[in-house]
Amino acid sequence: MSEPALMVENLCKEFAVKKKGGLLKRLFGRFGNGDEDSNSDQKPFVAVNNVSFDIEKGEIFGLLGPNGAGKTTTIKMISTLLRPTSGSVHIHGIDVSTDPQLVLQMIGTVLAGERCVYWKLTGRENLEYFGALYGQRGPELKQRIDYLLDRFQLSKRADETVEKYSTGMKRRIVLARALLHNPRLLILDEPTAGLDPQAALNLRDLILELKGEGKTVLLTTHYMEEADILSDRVAIIDHGEIISLDTPEQLKRDLKQTKVVSLDVLDWKDQFGDTLCAAGLVSNYTAQHDAANRRWQVTMHLADGVSVGAMMAAYLEQGNSVQSLAVNEPSLEDVFIQLTGKSLRE
């Protein structure tokens, strides 16, 4: 069996817990004025706890989890931005901790919440600058830049400053920057966040094209449908631990026996769902308000052996009404809710 593109083994990251209180309290404690260091017996915060997974060459691997689950910390350790407390990361056999410079030549990163390019420079100037950082020069760099600008449909706007670009164009120039040195592994942290539907669709198509060219992709996203479409395999992380890992199809198949009921209701309070959970009728539920239609979209996962009729009878006994009801096949979002008890965007 060939060596994986990425191998993560028993990865852990702990952060020291900062002392609570104001500056004077921290100073007095520090200088020993009768206030012992209250941090001395505080356990560190464990952001990532014994995480292990492999990504095969040419695979798109989705890493999913709710906010605070440990995704970003894991991504930063893989991309050399954070040093693990323990465990190891190998990219094409190279240890990230011992040879980070060589690793950086093999990866391209697009991190969520970071600009990654300079907005006061033009698109072309950005690519020239970052290409130089990778040691690229002369005609070879110019050819590579022209190719990427054309591929990402940026040639006509290449000599305008990035601050004038649309959100979709900014995302494309960031992806072009990540591909300048032709990396073997792409790390894409929420690449379509904030994009309009058409721009997001175009970027997904580009990601699939890159996979077709043999690139390996580690993807995080807050869009479950996106993960389902793009990912060959998905790992779900919660509270710093991998709680499930398989293909999207198999994860949904494993949830096949769970009835997923979607309700369209005019009024909703969490106590309605909590009452059904307490009665053992529902294992999990989520509710989202549709402000445009002034309705609530509620998804309920029925507990094992519970019929839709029994659940609805208990729900209506609370004095509630339902505009419409549908029983659906489990989706990847349903898998996520069943495993974590919350939606991906919480």
Out of 218, 252, 286, pick the residue that ends a domain: 252
Residue 198 lies in a domain: yes
pLDDT at 268: 94
Residues 226 and 277 in one domain: no
Look at residue 116 in the predicted model and tell me its pLDDT: 86
pLDDT in tens, 220-251: 988 888 999 999 999 999 999 999 999 999 99
Give the number of other CB atoms < 10 A from CB of residue 263: 23
In a domain? residue 93: yes
Model confidence pLDDT, tens digit, residues 96-112:
999 999 999 999 999 88
Residues 130, 195, single domain; the answer is: yes
Domain boundary residue among 225, 252, 279? 252
User: What's the distance, CA 1 to chain centroid?
Assistant: 28
User: Number of helices and strands (H, E) in the chain?
Assistant: 12, 14
List, for residues 286-342, the tens digit of each pLDDT value: 999 999 889 999 999 998 889 999 999 999 999 999 999 999 888 888 888 888 876
Q: Is residue 343 part of a domain?
A: no
Instruction: Label the pairing between strands 324-328 and 295-302.
Output: unpaired
Q: Does residue 335 sit within a domain?
A: no
Which of the listed residues 217, 252, 287 is the one where a domain comes to its end?
Answer: 252
pLDDT of residue 345: 52
Residues 50-87 have pLDDT tens digits of 999 999 999 999 999 988 899 999 999 999 999 999 99
Residue 279's domain comprises 257-329
User: Is residue 158 domain-shared with residue 46, that is, in the same domain?
Assistant: yes
Provide the domain count of the chain: 2
* pLDDT of the residue at 339: 85
In a domain, 100, yes or no: yes
Q: In this predicted structure, which of 140-144, 149-153, 210-214, 341-345 has the lowest mean pLDDT?
A: 341-345
Mean pLDDT of the chain: 89
What's residue 338's pLDDT? 83
Say if residue 212 is in the same domain as residue 281.
no
Give pLDDT tens digits for 155-202: 999 999 999 999 999 999 999 999 999 999 999 999 998 888 998 999
pLDDT, one tens digit per residue, over 107-126 is 999 988 667 899 999 999 99
For 311, other C-beta atoms within 10 Å of its C-beta total: 20
pLDDT of residue 27: 58
Judge if 269 and 171 occupy the same domain: no
Q: Which are the contacts of 138, defined by CB distance < 8 A and separation ≥ 6?
A: none
Q: What is the pLDDT confidence band of residue 343, given thresholds at 50, 70 and 90?
A: low
For 15-42, write each residue's pLDDT tens digit: 988 766 665 665 565 555 545 455 556 7
Residue 334 lies in a domain: no
The whole-number pLDDT of residue 114 equals 65
- pLDDT score recorded for residue 88: 97
- The Cα 296–Cα 306 span in angstroms is 23
Q: Which domain CATH number covers 323?
A: 3.30.70.260
185 and 46 assigned to the same domain: yes
CA 248 to chain centre: 15
State residue 85's pLDDT score.
Answer: 97
Asked if 178 and 262 sit in the same domain, the reply is no
Residue 55 maps to which CATH number? 3.40.50.300
Residue 340, domain member (yes or no): no
Residues 311 and 164 in one domain: no
- Both 62 and 166 in one domain: the answer is yes
**Residues 224, 331 contacting (CB under 8 angstroms):** yes
Same domain? 29 vs 145: yes
Confidence of residue 2 (pLDDT cuts 50, 70, 90): confident
Q: At what angle do helices 197-212 and 167-179 cross, to 10 degrees?
A: 20
Are 118 and 157 within one domain?
yes
* 246, 297: one domain: no
CA angle 72, 77, 78 (to 5 degrees): 95
Cα–Cα dist 137/131, whole Å: 7
